[in-house]
Amino acid sequence: MTAPRLHVLERAPSERVMWRVARWAAVAGLAMLLAGLVRAPAIALTALWYVAVPLLPAVFFLNPVLWRGICPLATANELGNRLAPGREPSARAVTRLGVAGVVLFHVMVPARRFLFNAEGSILAATIAAVALLAVVLGARYRVRAGFCNGLCPVLPVELLYGQAPLLSLPRGRCTSCTVCTPRGCPDLSQGKALAQLLGPDRRTGRWLLTPFGLFIAAMPGFVVGYALTSDGALCTAPSVYATTLGWSLASAALVAVAVRVVRIPTRLVLPLVAAAGGWLYYWFAGPAVARQVAAPWWLAPAIRAAGMALVTLWLVRALGPARGAR
């Protein structure tokens, strides 16, 4: 049975056209990227990993809706919606999809070091496989419940960095809401999505035992662990995973101590963890980008300064009186 449509969003024609153009431009960009990964992998890999990807955390701090409104994998999910009506996922399916997304993140990101940073064709095939999976999940589950709000490995980052968006934006993709995701939808709830997803557990510290909670607590350590590894052959995979896992567990343990022993309120811990992840990311990303694009000496500190300043501004907003009173 189809759920009733709720909260219809009225948009000006120009706004609808703008989103549509941006959405299909992103699809065209993905097609060009896939072709480039096969035909000119060195250029395509540099453009993806050292130009496009470093911009994403900044976009999420501004508002994840900016990306979610144009993401080509979300467009693939929409294509699946058109192939079949889909059904509402069970509570067990929601949990399994969320866990799978967290696992995919921790499997695929470190794989850059020994596979995806150098093998364009393999990366292209992986992206195509994930896009196909988005289509399948879009056909199996209603609207965005299967992929965008379920399996997507980027979703936990969107939730973490989207707690206090710097820009106020309407939903970029859904013009009406069927509540395909019972709680924690970044499009409908935006800054409240993470709190909704964690539920009452965020007031007791039990959120640390949930898949998204563990992901959040591990995030700063994961960033450090990845940065301390280097590109290498496939045989370095165990070392890469051991390093990222070790730092992730150390980070999770530190956050657990802050919450359960020191008793720092979760409403403070969540933004602080997000900011720590953002600061660390841009601290390491600046030199990495500068090296790969053979930039002048000042680009690395400029990226560091700009990224960390944006995160600091976000943190001030996230810790503001109005949000702290929630």
| pLDDT tens for each residue of 28-75 | 999 999 999 999 999 999 999 999 999 999 999 999 999 999 999 999
Give the model's pLDDT for residue 180.
Answer: 85
Phi/psi at 97 (nearest 5 deg)? -65, -40
Angle of CA points 2, 99, 255, to nearest 5°: 125
Is residue 10 in a domain? Answer: no
Give the whole-angstrom CA distance, residue 120 versus residue 106: 20
The structure's pTM equals: 0.93
Contact 19, 25 (CB under 8 A): no
**Structure tokens of 143?**
């609207």
pLDDT tens for 182-232 read 788 888 888 899 998 898 888 888 999 998 999 999 999 999 999 999 999
The pLDDT confidence band at residue 325, using thresholds 50, 70 and 90, is very low
Q: Which residues of 297-313 are buried (b: 16+ CB within 10 A; e: fewer)?
A: eebbeebbeebbebbee
Residue that the structure tokens 């809401």 belong to: 177
pLDDT tens digits for 242-297? Answer: 999 999 999 999 999 999 999 999 999 999 999 999 999 999 999 999 999 888 99
In the predicted model, is pLDDT for residue 13 greater than 80?
no
User: Is 110 among the domain residues?
Assistant: yes
pLDDT at 323 over 70: no
pLDDT band at 11 (very low <50, low <70, confident <90, very high): low
Question: What single-letter DSSP state applies at residue 144?
Answer: T
Residue 2: predicted pLDDT: 45
Q: What single string gives the DSSP state of each residue in 47-84?
A: HIIIIIHHHHHHHHHH-THHHHTT-HHHHHHHHHHHH-
How far, rounded to the nearest angstrom, does the alpha carbon of residue 62 sit from its chain's CA centroid?
Answer: 13
What are the DSSP calls for 222-237, one per residue?
HHHHHHT-----GGGH
Domains contained in the chain, number: 1
Residue 2 forms part of a structural domain: no
Residue 69 belongs to a domain: yes
pLDDT at 3 > cutoff 70: no
Residue 139 lies in a domain: yes
Whether pLDDT at 5 is above 60: no
**Separation of first and last alpha carbons in the chain:** 35
Looking up tokens 């992103």, which residue turns up?
A: 26
156-182 confidence digits (pLDDT tens): 999 999 999 999 888 778 777 888 887
Q: Is there a domain that residue 213 lies in?
A: yes
The pLDDT assigned to 203 comes to 84
Query: Strand, coil or helix: what is 87?
Result: strand
Q: What pLDDT is recorded for position 45?
A: 97
Cα–Cα dist 67/273, whole Å: 22
Inside any domain, residue 16: no
Tokens standing for residue 191? 């800054």
When the pLDDT of each residue in the chain is averaged and rounded to a whole number, the result is 92
Q: Which structural domain range is residue 139 located in?
A: 22-168+180-315
**Rounded distance between C-alpha atoms, residue 152 and residue 72, angstroms:** 12
Residue pLDDT, tens place only, 75-95: 999 999 999 988 988 889 988
Encoded tokens for 155: 């979703």
State residue 8's pLDDT score.
Answer: 54
pLDDT of residue 4: 44
In a domain, 277, yes or no: yes
Side chain identity at 29, as an amino acid letter? G
Residue 299 reports pLDDT greater than 70 = yes
| pLDDT the model gives residue 205 | 86
Q: What is the pLDDT of residue 12?
A: 67
